[in-house]
Structure 1
Amino acid sequence: MDVKGVKDTLSWLFYQYLLVTCSYVLEPWEQTVFNSVLLIIVAMVLYTAYVFIPIHIRLALEFFSGLGAGQLESTVAIMT
């Protein structure tokens, strides 16, 4: 892909972003604040997903692997 095509594609994607978020009607300082807040929110979501999703996946795998295995030992102590 040539450089002009990449530039046109990125320009079109940015224009679509402006249209979807309706931020093309904002003043430049308002666009900066809006984009900063949006970037911070996306960064926090990605960080949270990076930290907590592996933990939840591991716990879910442990839970579901425990369902298939039979109970090897009795949990009730036999008193004689």
Structure 2
Amino acid sequence: MNFKNLREYLAWLYYQYLLITGIYVLEPWEKSIFNSILFSVVTMVIYTSYVFVPIHVRLALEFFSGIFGGQPASTVALVN
């Protein structure tokens, strides 16, 4: 894929974004505010997922291992 095709493809994707969100009818300053807010929200969702999802997955695994017969780590016999 050469640079011209990539550039045209990215321009097409941006045009689709404008059409789907309906911001093609906004003025430039309104577009920039909308895009800033959207970027901020997406960034916060990604950060929150990165920070909190692993904690909840670990807690869920501990919970379900306790329900389905897993032994707590403190009662497991050590093998010498």
TM-score normalised by L of structure 2: 0.83
2: CA distance, partners of 1:5 / 1:61:
46
1:1-80 paired onto structure 2 within 5 Å: 1-69=1-69
Question: CA, structure 1 residues 20+70, in 2 after alignment: closer, same or farther (shift >3 Å)?
Answer: closer
Task: Flag the structure with larger Rg.
Answer: 1
TM-score normalised by L of structure 1: 0.83
1: CA distance, partners of 2:5 / 2:38:
27
| Cα RMSD (Å) | 1.3
AA aligned opposite 1:5 = N
Structure 2 residue runs of 5 or longer lacking an equivalent are 72-80
